[in-house]
């Protein structure tokens, strides 16, 4: 078992809203091992982006990290100051977001933005930074990189912008890359190209990647392990091959039944009934219980703990509890 690059422990990030406290991230734990790609997967609104923002110290009001630990390089990032976190971000942790236009500064050229990142983090400056930037753009598969250095973000295509984002993200040779839906805004062909690029730089640079996606195809193709999130919590975690082959949590099973290629051929394609709970009014028991075809009384009353059911396979479901299991009993209606 590899060493963990990132350990998120019992992370709670809440938002104060006029409707009350919205528990966007509510007890998230997972570990990312060195050299692996860990997918954070789940439906819209389950807390994937807020988890990423919490790790990077980018939660802003009305959001607040209530408790938890984000262990990185032997330190808890949640205890670091804003200025320390500014050095970590873009330095030891690179970030790629869905929409490069909202992340890249529209008023600066590509050159200025990459060179600035290298300068701020003390990697290179002046002519050296410029040459390094060109090399980086070339390594990201950007043709005519030298000429493109003068371009502004809006002058580039979506795919090129995303490549520039990735160039900036890896410019300071981070250990960890956090990619939040890096290809969602792109068409299918570009999606594949960008994912291939990420896979390539991961290998070449020995990166570890936290890959946020709602796309199980991307999970199966590009990640080693996955943490499945539902309503602010991780409900299942394990090696991707195993998790897709034999999903344990009824939510993961439901997710897979929505995907034709990944779902088992003998199971009809069916969406999960019902909708995600209101994060400001979460049910008392298991958050998936209202939609779960296998739920029984205990599921509605008591929130299940995350349990390691076998080596490196975690699940938050009463069906896999040590004492009582209804799996062999007739279903209670």
Task: State the residues that interact with ligand ATP by CB under 6 A.
Answer: 15, 17, 22, 24, 42, 44-50, 62-63, 214, 279
**Bridge pairing between strands 63-72 and 4-17:** antiparallel
CB of 49 to Mg ion, least distance (A): 3
Strand, helix or coil at 30? Answer: strand
Instruction: Kindly state the helix (H) or strand (E) to which residue 165 belongs, with its residue range.
Output: helix 158-170
For Mg ion, the closer CB: 48 or 313 = 48
**Count of residues in the chain:** 333
CB 151 within 8 A of CB 175: no
For residue 133, state whether it binds Mg ion (rule: CB under 5 A): no
For Mg ion, the closer CB: 48 or 257 = 48
Q: What are phi and psi of 249, to 5 degrees?
A: -75, 135
For ligand ATP, the closer CB: 22 or 56 = 22
For Mg ion, the closer CB: 118 or 186 = 186
CB of 254 to ligand ATP, least distance (A): 16
Query: How open is the CA angle 123-128-130, to the nearest 5 degrees?
Result: 100
Q: How far apart are the first and last CA of the chain?
A: 42
Strand, helix or coil at 38? Answer: strand
Query: Could you say which residues in the range 43-72 bind Mg ion, by CB under 5 A?
Result: 48-49
Query: Could you say which residues in the range 174-233 bind Mg ion, by CB under 5 A?
Result: none
CB of 48 to Mg ion, least distance (A): 5
CB of 191 to ligand ATP, least distance (A): 16
286 binds, among Mg ion, ligand ATP, none (CB under 5 to 8 A by kind): none
174 binds, among ligand ATP, Mg ion, none (CB under 5 to 8 A by kind): none
CB 264 within 8 A of CB 278: no
For Mg ion, the closer CB: 97 or 222 = 97
Instruction: Kindly state the helix (H) or strand (E) to which residue 120 belongs, with its residue range.
Output: helix 110-120
CB of 180 to Mg ion, least distance (A): 6
d(Cα 151, Cα 228) in Å, to the nearest integer? 39
Binding site for Mg ion (CB under 5 A): 48-49
């Amino acid at each position: 078992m590899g060493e963990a690059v990132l350990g998120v422990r019992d992370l709670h990030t809440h938002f104060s809203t006029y409707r009350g406290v919205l528990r966007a991230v509510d007890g998230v734990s997972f570990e990312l091992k060195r050299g692996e790609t860990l997918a954070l997967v789940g439906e819209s609104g389950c807390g994937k982006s807020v988890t990423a923002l919490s790790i990077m110290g980018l939660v802003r009001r009305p959001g607040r990290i209530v408790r938890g630990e984000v262990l990185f390089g032997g330190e808890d990032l949640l205890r670091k100051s804003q200025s320390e976190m500014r050095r970590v971000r873009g330095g030891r942790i690179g970030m790629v977001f869905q929409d490069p236009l909202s992340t890249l500064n529209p008023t600066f050229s590509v050159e200025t933005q990459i060179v600035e990142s290298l300068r701020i983090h003390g990697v290179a400056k002046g002519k050296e930074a410029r040459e390094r930037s060109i090399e980086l753009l070339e390594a990201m598969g950007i043709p005519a990189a030298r000429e493109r250095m003068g371009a502004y973000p809006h002058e580039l295509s979506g795919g090129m912008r995303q490549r520039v984002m990735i160039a900036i993200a890896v410019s300071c040779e981070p250990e960890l890359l956090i990619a939040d839906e890096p290809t969602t805004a792109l068409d299918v062909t570009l999606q594949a190209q960008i994912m291939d690029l990420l896979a390539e730089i991961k290998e070449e640079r020995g990166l570890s990647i936290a890959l946020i996606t709602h796309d199980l195809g991307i999970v199966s193709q590009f990640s080693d392990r996955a943490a499945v999130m539902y309503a602010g919590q991780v409900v299942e975690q394990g090696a991707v091959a195993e998790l897709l082959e034999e999903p344990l949590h009824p939510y993961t099973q439901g997710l897979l039944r929505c995907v034709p290629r990944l779902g088992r051929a003998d199971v009809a394609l069916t969406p999960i009934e019902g909708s995600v709970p209101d994060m400001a009014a979460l049910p008392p028991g298991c958050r998936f219980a209202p939609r779960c075809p296998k739920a029984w009384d205990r599921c509605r009353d008591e929130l299940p703990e995350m349990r390691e059911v076998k080596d490196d396979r975690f699940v938050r479901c009463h069906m896999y509890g040590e004492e009582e299991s209804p799996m062999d009993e007739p279903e209670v209606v």
